[in-house]
Amino acid sequence: MKKIRNIPFGYMMKKGRYIAEPLESEAVVMIYKMYLNGMSLKDIADVMTVPYNADKPIHTP
């Protein structure tokens, strides 16, 4: 049976385990810092340009 996994942003699967994905993890830290400094989620989304790992598998049920 095929396993379907949704890998959270900021992580990747390596040898069957979740590990931090460096570029995405940096983006997560930046998002939290901006939010804690009072920015709204919409304002954060407007300024973010996050490199996305195109090789990361996307599974839809």
pLDDT at 23: 83
pLDDT at 36: 97
Look at residue 5 and tell me if it is in a domain. Answer: no
Number of folded domains that form the chain: 1
Q: Reduced to 3 DSSP states, what percent helix, strand and coil does the chain have, rounded to the nearest 5? A: 35, 15, 50
pLDDT at 47: 87
**CA-to-CA dists, residue 13 to 16, 34, 40, 61, angstroms:** 6, 27, 31, 19
Closest listed residue to residue 25, CA positions, set 11, 44, 6:
11
pLDDT at 60: 45
Q: Over the stretch 4-46, which tens digit does the pLDDT of each residue have?
A: 668 888 888 888 888 998 888 888 899 999 999 999 999 988 8
Mean pLDDT, rounded, for 39-56: 76
> What range defines the domain where residue 45 resides?
21-52
Look at residue 42 and tell me if it is in a domain. Answer: yes
